[in-house]
Amino acid sequence: MSVRLCTGLTVVCLATTMTSGACRTPKPSPSPEAATVRQQLERQYELNRQAFLREDLDAIMALRTDDFHTVGPDNQTRDRAEMRQYTEGLLNGIERWNELTFAIDSLEIVGDEARAIVRQHLDRMALRPDGKVHHVETWATQREIWLRTPAGWKLRRVDSVRDRRRLVDGKEE
């Protein structure tokens, strides 16, 4: 009887092991449209990065829609004009960019809108309130909503900012 029980358990274990793998749903591969949109957005992020490196405010804003706005972690909304002014202030304080990276973590496409969860890292030498230039690094993860326009993809909205971190001269701030 014990032999039979062991054999039965072995069959049950083997069947469970074999079917559990078969029942797993494989992670779907991105649709051809999603892969194309991801490539197009990566190109836009590179154009954005290059515009920041050149400190070209007009080129930065050209990648944004007329109704571009952000919603910060404090739930404060800044419209296009306010973000232009904010970006100008940021650029005016930069002595030198060390590195800028933008990475798309996930992408959802709904009609002419693409919703990207993006991680960014900005590393720069920048003027601080003490009037001195310091090494400043910032990180954030945020949702960025892009709109497909006749002129290509343009950034419409930034929100859901999280995972923020700032180092000044290597120290948490």
State residue 28's pLDDT score: 54
Provide the residue type at 75 as one letter.
N
Q: Where are the domains of the chain?
A: 31-172
Does CATH number 3.10.450.50 belong to domain 31-172? yes
Predicted TM-score of the model (pTM): 0.81
How many Cβ atoms are within 10 Å of 145's Cβ, its own excluded?
18
Residue-level pLDDT at 32: 83
**What would the pLDDT profile of 54-76 be if each residue is shown by its tens digit?**
999 999 999 999 999 999 999 99
- Of 13-17, 49-53, 72-76, 169-173, the range with the lowest mean pLDDT is 13-17
CB atoms under 10 Å from CB of 123, counted, come to 17
Across the chain, what does the average pLDDT equal? Answer: 88
The pLDDT of residue 128 is above 60: yes
